[in-house]
Protein backbone atom coordinates (compact mmCIF):
# COMPACT_ATOMS: atom_id res chain seq x y z
CA UNK A 1 0.00 0.00 0.00
CA UNK A 2 2.79 2.46 0.92
CA UNK A 3 4.65 1.73 -2.31
CA UNK A 4 1.51 2.48 -4.31
CA UNK A 5 1.14 5.85 -2.55
CA UNK A 6 4.79 6.71 -3.25
CA UNK A 7 4.47 5.80 -6.92
CA UNK A 8 1.30 7.89 -7.19
CA UNK A 9 2.96 10.87 -5.43
CA UNK A 10 6.05 10.72 -7.65
CA UNK A 11 3.96 10.43 -10.79
CA UNK A 12 1.84 13.42 -9.74
CA UNK A 13 4.88 15.57 -8.91
CA UNK A 14 6.78 14.75 -12.08
CA UNK A 15 3.68 15.20 -14.21
CA UNK A 16 2.99 18.64 -12.77
CA UNK A 17 5.94 20.03 -14.71
CA UNK A 18 4.35 18.84 -17.92
CA UNK A 19 1.40 21.12 -17.29
CA UNK A 20 3.47 24.14 -16.22
CA UNK A 21 2.73 27.24 -18.27
CA UNK A 22 5.53 28.59 -20.42
CA UNK A 23 5.96 32.35 -20.20
CA UNK A 24 7.89 32.63 -23.45
CA UNK A 25 6.34 34.97 -25.96
CA UNK A 26 5.28 38.59 -26.17
CA UNK A 27 3.53 40.26 -23.23
CA UNK A 28 2.03 43.74 -23.23
CA UNK A 29 0.37 46.08 -20.79
CA UNK A 30 -0.23 49.68 -19.77
CA UNK A 31 1.11 51.43 -16.68
CA UNK A 32 -0.24 54.70 -15.28
CA UNK A 33 2.44 57.08 -14.00
CA UNK A 34 1.35 60.50 -12.72
CA UNK A 35 -1.78 60.41 -14.86
CA UNK A 36 0.04 59.40 -18.05
CA UNK A 37 -0.37 55.99 -19.70
CA UNK A 38 2.71 54.12 -20.87
CA UNK A 39 2.38 51.04 -23.08
CA UNK A 40 5.07 48.45 -22.40
CA UNK A 41 6.01 45.30 -24.29
CA UNK A 42 8.08 42.44 -22.85
CA UNK A 43 9.47 39.68 -25.06
CA UNK A 44 10.61 36.53 -23.25
CA UNK A 45 12.46 33.65 -24.90
CA UNK A 46 14.81 30.84 -23.90
CA UNK A 47 18.56 30.61 -24.32
CA UNK A 48 20.44 27.61 -25.70
CA UNK A 49 20.94 26.56 -22.06
CA UNK A 50 17.15 26.53 -21.47
CA UNK A 51 17.18 29.60 -19.21
CA UNK A 52 14.83 32.52 -19.71
CA UNK A 53 15.96 35.82 -21.23
CA UNK A 54 14.08 38.88 -22.32
CA UNK A 55 13.90 42.39 -23.61
CA UNK A 56 11.52 45.17 -22.59
CA UNK A 57 10.21 48.13 -24.50
CA UNK A 58 9.25 50.35 -21.57
CA UNK A 59 7.30 52.97 -23.52
CA UNK A 60 6.53 52.13 -27.14
CA UNK A 61 4.65 55.40 -27.63
CA UNK A 62 7.81 57.38 -26.94
CA UNK A 63 10.47 55.23 -28.64
CA UNK A 64 11.37 51.81 -29.90
CA UNK A 65 14.35 51.66 -27.55
CA UNK A 66 14.75 48.22 -26.01
CA UNK A 67 16.06 47.39 -22.55
CA UNK A 68 17.75 44.02 -22.09
CA UNK A 69 16.39 42.16 -19.08
CA UNK A 70 18.59 40.61 -16.44
CA UNK A 71 17.36 37.54 -14.61
CA UNK A 72 13.92 36.25 -15.66
CA UNK A 73 12.57 33.69 -13.18
CA UNK A 74 9.41 31.73 -12.57
CA UNK A 75 8.71 30.13 -9.18
CA UNK A 76 5.29 28.54 -9.12
CA UNK A 77 3.02 31.26 -10.49
CA UNK A 78 5.35 34.16 -9.55
CA UNK A 79 7.25 35.76 -12.43
CA UNK A 80 10.14 38.13 -11.76
CA UNK A 81 12.51 40.01 -14.00
CA UNK A 82 14.94 42.88 -13.74
CA UNK A 83 16.02 45.68 -16.07
CA UNK A 84 19.50 46.44 -14.69
CA UNK A 85 20.14 49.31 -17.12
CA UNK A 86 17.48 51.43 -15.41
CA UNK A 87 17.28 49.74 -12.01
CA UNK A 88 13.83 48.32 -12.73
CA UNK A 89 12.15 45.24 -11.24
CA UNK A 90 8.92 43.46 -12.09
CA UNK A 91 7.05 40.93 -9.99
CA UNK A 92 3.80 39.45 -11.19
CA UNK A 93 1.52 36.51 -10.64
CA UNK A 94 0.70 34.34 -13.64
CA UNK A 95 -2.98 33.51 -13.97
CA UNK A 96 -4.16 29.89 -13.95
CA UNK A 97 -4.70 29.88 -17.72
CA UNK A 98 -1.25 31.43 -18.27
CA UNK A 99 -2.37 34.35 -20.43
CA UNK A 100 -2.16 37.24 -17.95
CA UNK A 101 0.18 38.47 -15.22
CA UNK A 102 -0.96 40.87 -12.50
CA UNK A 103 2.09 42.66 -11.19
CA UNK A 104 4.08 45.68 -10.14
CA UNK A 105 6.85 47.51 -11.99
CA UNK A 106 9.30 49.26 -9.67
CA UNK A 107 12.12 51.71 -10.22
CA UNK A 108 13.61 52.99 -6.97
CA UNK A 109 10.79 54.15 -4.69
CA UNK A 110 8.27 54.30 -7.55
CA UNK A 111 5.91 51.30 -7.79
CA UNK A 112 3.16 51.13 -10.42
CA UNK A 113 0.72 48.42 -11.42
CA UNK A 114 1.70 46.75 -14.68
CA UNK A 115 -0.64 43.97 -15.69
CA UNK A 116 0.60 42.07 -18.72
CA UNK A 117 -1.39 40.08 -21.27
CA UNK A 118 0.08 37.49 -23.62
CA UNK A 119 -0.07 38.95 -27.11
CA UNK A 120 -1.06 37.04 -30.21
CA UNK A 121 0.19 37.95 -33.70
CA UNK A 122 -3.16 39.69 -34.24
CA UNK A 123 -3.20 41.62 -30.94
CA UNK A 124 0.51 42.49 -30.63
CA UNK A 125 1.28 46.19 -30.54
CA UNK A 126 3.68 47.45 -33.19
CA UNK A 127 7.06 48.44 -31.80
CA UNK A 128 8.46 51.52 -33.52
CA UNK A 129 11.86 51.38 -35.12
CA UNK A 130 14.72 52.51 -32.93
CA UNK A 131 15.57 56.08 -33.91
CA UNK A 132 18.88 56.40 -35.74
CA UNK A 133 21.76 57.90 -33.81
CA UNK A 134 22.31 61.64 -34.36
CA UNK A 135 24.48 62.46 -37.34
CA UNK A 136 27.97 63.58 -36.50
CA UNK A 137 29.30 66.83 -37.91
CA UNK A 138 31.55 66.38 -40.91
CA UNK A 139 35.18 66.30 -39.76
CA UNK A 140 36.02 68.89 -42.46
CA UNK A 141 33.31 71.32 -41.27
CA UNK A 142 34.45 74.68 -39.93
CA UNK A 143 31.64 76.01 -37.73
CA UNK A 144 31.55 79.75 -37.14
CA UNK A 145 29.24 82.37 -35.67
CA UNK A 146 27.81 84.92 -38.08
CA UNK A 147 25.82 87.02 -35.59
CA UNK A 148 26.12 87.63 -31.87
CA UNK A 149 23.71 89.72 -29.81
CA UNK A 150 24.59 91.30 -26.50
CA UNK A 151 21.76 92.85 -24.53
CA UNK A 152 22.24 94.94 -21.40
CA UNK A 153 20.36 93.76 -18.35
CA UNK A 154 19.38 95.41 -15.09
CA UNK A 155 21.63 93.83 -12.38
CA UNK A 156 19.09 93.94 -9.51
Examine the pLDDT at 16 and tell me if it is beyond 50.
Answer: no
For residues 149 and 134, the answer to whether their CB atoms sit within 8 Å is: no
Superfamily of domain 21-118: Quinohemoprotein amine dehydrogenase alpha subunit, domain 2 (2.40.128.120)
In this prediction, residue 17 carries a pLDDT of 38
DSSP-assigned letters across all residues of 40-80: EEEEEEE-TTS-EEEEEES-TTT----EE---EEEETTEEE
pLDDT score for 81: 96
The answer for 86, left when phi > 0, alpha when psi is -120 to 50, beta otherwise, is alpha
pLDDT band at 153 (very low <50, low <70, confident <90, very high): confident
Phi and psi at 138, nearest 5°, equal: -55, 135
> Domain ranges in the chain?
21-118
pTM of the predicted structure, to 2 decimals: 0.71
Helix (H, G, I), strand (E, B) or coil at 15: helix
Q: How far is CA 109 from CA 51, 88, 115, in A?
A: 29, 10, 19
pLDDT digits (tens, 9 = 90+) for 63-93: 878 999 999 999 999 999 999 999 999 999 9
Helix (H, G, I), strand (E, B) or coil at 57: strand
Q: What is the per-residue pLDDT for 90? A: 96
Amino acid sequence: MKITLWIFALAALSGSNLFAQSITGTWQGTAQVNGTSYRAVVKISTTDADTLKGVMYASIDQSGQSLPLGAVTVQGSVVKFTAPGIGGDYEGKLSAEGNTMAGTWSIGDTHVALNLTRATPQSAWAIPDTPPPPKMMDSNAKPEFEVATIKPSDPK
